[in-house]
Amino acid sequence: MTKKAGIAIVAVGAALILSALVLLLHNRYADARAGREAETLLAGVEAAISSQADEPEETRRQETRPTGEEKGTEPTAAEALDPEMPVAMLEGYGYVGYVEIPALGLKLPVMSDWDYTRLEIAPCRQFGSSRRDDLVIAAHNFESHFGRLKEMSVGNTVTFTDMAGIVNTYRAEMIETLSPKDVEAVQNSGYDLVLYTCTRDGQERVAVFCNRTTAEKE
């Protein structure tokens, strides 16, 4: 090997190491920023839920009254709770509540819609509703978001509180690693709640399938 070739190899190696270091620092910065933003937004979501709870019950009942009552008829039991979750606007984005995973020490706001820009800010409702028992929440693999889902265990508790202050309690039933193409397995899983994120290399998805606790179903 010539001296020039050796220098070139060393230079390439140094460049690769530097690139990896820059990427690592960038990811850590983005993770920390996402954690701070989520914490600030969570405070806003909780405040909005609290203010809703402080309203007189009659006012809240009128605001959420089904259209059937507008026609002079009493709502049926099925109409009593709108299957679509209420949405609150904060800093230009809609939120449907917050999710809490005690086993991971996580408590995060959940946006009403998802796209890649929103995922950089907070977990997002990708599909469904807690009121129809088909809610799917996706989040970035930041450590401060869903990056540690794989550390969960079957039996762990997950709660989702919507903007009306309704607390839904779930039990993790299954934790799987899926292909990005397994959209059907996530959106039509038959489980009451699904949490998922991508792996660090982006090649697979980690999904946690949950059902309501027995106490809630009774």
Average pLDDT over residues 27-51: 75
* Distance from C-alpha of 32 to C-alpha of 114, rounded to nearest angstrom: 21
The better pLDDT of the pair 9, 77 is held by 9
φ and ψ at residue 117, rounded to 5 degrees: -65, -45
Band of residue 170 on the pLDDT scale cut at 50, 70, 90: very high
pTM metric for this prediction: 0.74
Band of residue 66 on the pLDDT scale cut at 50, 70, 90: very low
What is the span of the domain harbouring residue 67?
3-217
Per residue in 91-137, pLDDT (tens digit) is 999 999 999 999 999 999 999 999 999 999 999 999 999 999 999 99
The predicted structure's pLDDT at residue 182: 82
The predicted structure's pLDDT at residue 12: 56
Inter-residue contact 146 to 158 (CB < 8 Å): no
The better pLDDT of the pair 33, 200 is held by 200
pLDDT at 168 over 90: yes
Average pLDDT over the chain, rounded to an integer: 79
Sign of the CA dihedral running 150, 152, 154, 159: negative
Q: Which of 29-43, 59-73, 109-123 has the highest mean pLDDT?
A: 109-123
DSSP3 helix / strand / coil % (the chain, rounded to 5)? 40, 25, 35
Per residue in 15-35, pLDDT (tens digit) is 555 444 434 344 454 455 655
**Domain count for the chain:** 1
Band of residue 57 on the pLDDT scale cut at 50, 70, 90: very low
The predicted structure's pLDDT at residue 28: 52
Return the H-helix or E-strand segment holding 215.
helix 214-217
Coil/strand/helix, residue 161: strand
Tokens 């509703």, residue?
Answer: 129
Average pLDDT over residues 61-88: 57
The predicted structure's pLDDT at residue 87: 96
The better pLDDT of the pair 78, 131 is held by 131
Average pLDDT over residues 162-185: 91
* Distance from C-alpha of 182 to C-alpha of 143, rounded to nearest angstrom: 23
The better pLDDT of the pair 104, 9 is held by 104
Helices (H) and strands (E) in the chain, counts: 6, 9
Average pLDDT over residues 196-209: 88
**Burial class, 46, CB count within 10 angstroms (exposed 0-12 / middle 13-18 / buried 19+):** middle
CATH code of the domain in which 110 resides: 2.40.260.10
The predicted structure's pLDDT at residue 9: 61
